[in-house]
Amino acid sequence: MSVLCEGNKPGTLVQQTVTNGSPCNYHESATPGLPFMLLYKMTRSQKSLGELGLIEQIRRDFSAGSKAVTLGIGDDCAILRPPAGCEVLVTTDFTLEDRHFRRDLHPAESVGHRCLARGLSDLAAMGATPLAAFLSLALPGTTLANSPGRDWIARFFSGLRALGDMHRVPLAGGDTSESPGGRRGLILADIVLVGAAPKGEALRRSGGAAGDALYVTGQLGGAATELSAILQRQRRILSVATTEGHPHLFPEPRLDVGESLLRRKLATACIDVSDGLSTDLAHLCRASGVCAEIEQAALPIHPLARKLGAAAALQAALHGGEDYELLFSAPATIQIPSSLAGVRITRIGSLKNRRSGRPLMTMLAPDGSRVELKPGGWEHFSGISSGISSQIGSGTARGRKKRSH
C-alpha cells in the first residue's frame, strides 16, 4: 500500500502495510502546524519568498530531465520535442479556491495532486502520453510572506510532484501572479498539460457507433461520497495514511488504461468521467450521434458510496463526478479484458441508434423497467446541479464568511 511519509527519498514510493487503512481514516486537527506526512519535501524557506524566489525554488525542485523537454523552466518559453510520428494534444484546467477546493478543509497535497490529476485525466481520455505540464498560479499577496502560507505552497507542490513523478510528467513552465484582494485573495491554479499520441490515432468522444458496448474503468461515486463526508465534518484534514482509497482527495488518472486502449485499438470513443457519468455519457452520445442505454445493476459502485444505501449510492455513481474514470465504447464483437493495466473494466451498457422520440440516454432497472436518464452532473453557470463542484461552492457560502470574488 502506498504511504505518504515524511523525508522519503525523492523518486521513491514507499510500500508499507497500513494496519488501519480505512478509506475515511483522516488525521485531523483544528491546530495548524502538526507535521503533515509528505512524500516529497519542497525546501521550506524560513524567509519571505518573492515571485522570483518561488520560481527559483520550483525550478530547483522540478529540474528532473525529460526527453520531451528540450528547455524547461527559466526562459521565455519552454521547448518541447514530441516523439516522431506523434501529434501534440493540449488541455487546460482551472483549480479555483472555493470552487474546486477549500483551503480550510482540503490538505494542500490533495489540491496539488488534483490540479495535475484533472489535466492528466483529459490526456488519458484521448489515449495520450504526457510530455509536460505548465502551471499558472495566482496567490494572495501574503502567502509567500508568512510561514503557514509558504508551508501551504510547499505541500501543494509536494502533492503535484508526487503524482507528476508517478507518471513521469515534468513541470516545464508556468506563470506566477498575485491574486487581487490582499490577504483575503484566493488561490487559483491553471494547469496546462501537453501530451502526444500517434498521428490520427488519439481517442475521441465522437467515434461511438450504434451496437457498440459501453465500458467504464474502476468504480463510480466514490469521489462525491468522500467530498460530502469532508464537507459534513467541516474540519481540517491534516493528513491521510495513504493516498489509496481517497477517490476525492487523491484520484488516480487512468493514463495507462487510455494508452492501452489506443495501442490495442480497442475503443471507438472515450471520455473521462469528470462531471458525472450521466453528463459525460451525454457528451459522448452527442459527439457520436447515438443514444445509450446503461444497466443499473451493472454499474460498479465504489464501496464508499455503497455505505450511503442503494438509492444515494446510485445517485453518486450516476451524477457525482470527479471520479476520473474512463468511459469508453468498443464494438460488441471485440473481447474487452476484465482489467487493463491493472484496472477493472466493467461493461455497463450499449450504444443505440438515434430515433425520434427515443431519449438520449435510458437506464434499465433491475426489475426490467426502463427510465430516461437525464444529465445530472456538474455544469458551470447552469444554476442547478447535484455535481461535485456545486457542493464545494455551496459549502463555502454556508460554512465561511463569504469573500468577494
Interacting residue ranges for ligand ADP, rule: CB under 6 A:
55, 58, 73-76, 135, 137, 171, 173-176
**Single-letter residue type at 104:** D
Select 174 or 395, whichever has its Cβ closest to ligand ADP: 174
Contact at 8 Å (CB) between 356 and 221?
Answer: no
Select 173 or 253, whichever has its Cβ closest to ligand ADP: 173
Q: How far is the CB of 339 from ligand ADP (least distance, A)?
A: 36
**Single-letter residue type at 303:** P
Q: How far is the CB of 143 from ligand ADP (least distance, A)?
A: 12
Mapped onto helix, strand or coil, the DSSP state of residue 176 is: strand
Of 29, 34, 85, 175, the residue at the interface with Mg ion (CB under 5 A) is 175
Select 170 or 245, whichever has its Cβ closest to ligand ADP: 170
Q: How far is the CB of 154 from Mg ion (least distance, A)?
A: 21
Interacting partner of 372 out of ligand ADP, Mg ion, none (Cβ under 5 to 8 A depending on kind): none
Residue nearest to Mg ion (CB): 175
Select 126 or 144, whichever has its Cβ closest to ligand ADP: 144
Tell me which residue has cell 491534516.
Answer: 238
Distance CA 152, CA 234 (A): 19
Select 189 or 299, whichever has its Cβ closest to Mg ion: 189
Mapped onto helix, strand or coil, the DSSP state of residue 225 is: helix
**Single-letter residue type at 308:** L
Contact at 8 Å (CB) between 22 and 10?
Answer: no
Q: How far is the CB of 74 from ligand ADP (least distance, A)?
A: 5
| Residues sharing a CB contact under 8 Å with residue 353, sequence separation 6 or more, in sequence order | 210, 290, 291
Q: How far is the CB of 270 from ligand ADP (least distance, A)?
A: 29
Select 1 or 79, whichever has its Cβ closest to ligand ADP: 79
Write the DSSP symbol of residue 220.
B
Q: How far is the CB of 50 from ligand ADP (least distance, A)?
A: 11
Candidates 49-57, 173-181, 238-246, 261-269: pick the segment binding Mg ion (CB under 5 A). 173-181
User: For residue 384, with 0-12 CB atoms within 10 Å meaning exposed, 13-18 middle and 19 or more buried, which class applies?
Assistant: exposed
Candidates 91-99, 134-142, 175-183, 196-204: pick the segment binding Mg ion (CB under 5 A). 175-183
Interacting partner of 348 out of Mg ion, ligand ADP, none (Cβ under 5 to 8 A depending on kind): none
74 binds Mg ion (CB under 5 A): no
Select 189 or 282, whichever has its Cβ closest to ligand ADP: 189
Q: How far is the CB of 136 from ligand ADP (least distance, A)?
A: 6
User: For residue 30, with 0-12 CB atoms within 10 Å meaning exposed, 13-18 middle and 19 or more buried, which class applies?
Assistant: exposed
User: For residue 383, with 0-12 CB atoms within 10 Å meaning exposed, 13-18 middle and 19 or more buried, which class applies?
Assistant: exposed
Tell me which residue has cell 484533472.
Answer: 118
Q: How far is the CB of 382 from ligand ADP (least distance, A)?
A: 31
Is the CA virtual torsion 51, 55, 56, 58 positive or negative? Answer: positive
Select 58 or 266, whichever has its Cβ closest to ligand ADP: 58
Tell me which residue has cell 529540474.
Answer: 63
The helix or strand, by DSSP H or E, that contains position 71, with its residue range, turns out to be: strand 69-71
**Single-letter residue type at 293:** E
Binding site for Mg ion (CB under 5 A): 175
